[in-house]
Structure 1
Amino acid sequence: MDDTISSFVGQVFPEAYHGYSSMSVVIYCHLRIGQSTNLDYLFFLACKAYTTQDFEKSFSKLSHAAHEVLANIGKTKWTRAYFPNIRWNYIQQTFAERSVVGEMVLHRRMQKCLRWKATKIPPEIPSPFPSDIFQVFDLKRRCVLDLNQHTCSCGKWRSLGIACGHAIVAARYTKNTELTDMVQIYYLVDVFGTTYQTRNVKVVPPASEWEIPEPLMVILIPM
């Protein structure tokens, strides 16, 4: 990121953290150590892992040369597992008529996990657990989550700020948790919209309102 842009973002959003595009990082690796199908496969497995355990499992299989290149970049800049803040992955759709940005994501996850099973943490576990802690068995593994703290051992809820499928199953089990309450507050449309009320952020108007200089409106046929 250009230093000027980085400085400006820091003034408007003091808690923002800048990461790098995964494609930019892998292309940088190609330039330094050459292209490899195995490199790309393992890199993206590590990059997209939600937990540090899954990340280390894939990262350890990369070559020593790849380790050196990526170590100079820093894990917090290109991985989900080590990214310090909530990521922005789902802020990429039209949401003017929705109360929550990413509402469609929540409903897709709900449909996907209908067959999963949720149970309270069993009472025979020695240490006491609050009533909002659950274990959910999906088709591959068991995850433990906390509805109150918005965390799940799969790592997705913490990383993205939107309830994972395990949390949705637990919410359906309790029957008293609204899905729209299971996202970070800045995904609410009203809150998200305030971002564009600052004088430093200029909203792009509809194309019909664009002021285009007359000479630029004539498109000549290629010769």
Structure 2
Amino acid sequence: MANRKGRLQTLHRSNSMERPPVMGGLRIVLLGKSLSENCEVGNIMLGEAMFDSEAPPDQVQRRRRMHKTVINVPHLLQRHLSDHQITQTVRECVNLSYPGPHVVVLLLKHDQCSREDQQHVEKVLHSFSERVYKHTMVLTTQEPDSIVSDVLKEIIKKCFNNHYNLKQSSSSAGLREKLENFAQNNSKHYLACDEFEGSEISRTKQVTEEGES
């Protein structure tokens, strides 16, 4: 009996170690190609300069302020990444936003959206979940009168026309309000990433978790 109780306690401790802590509040995964741009936008989302633009360009950073958590992934939309690198990075995003992100933000440029870019973006999104588009918002930072490419229009349409142009906002608070409203419209439901459900957490040198409060 004592041995059985000991095995159960050991199993309970093992399962507790494998389950990530639930991240409270609004959880956002920010995807892009440029470290400096991602850090700038991530800081706007948090309302404070918390992301390090001097960090390695392939480093995943998580910052939390008040009721908002932002997982900054400045390299995942680069087309040279292998399928394995995409899967591993998406796994990290899911673990860091456990039990799943409320919003996935695509930071895209009008002049950097080719058909190849579109295919890569779709591959990355599908790595999260087949239901990802309902939780995805396209964010652009160029002037609103810029010519929007047909490819970018198609990506925005797939994301149920959830698009925000940062240049159109008179204040940085506009983006934060947009994200809150977006999550509210989804009834605060997070994106369930079934493929990674129950996966063991991997904490690597690629991930930093500074500045959380």
| TM-score computed with the length of structure 1 as normaliser | 0.24
Structure (1/2) with the larger strand percentage: 2
Higher-Rg structure is 1
Higher relative contact order, structure no. (Cα contacts within 8 Å, ≥ 6 residues apart): 2
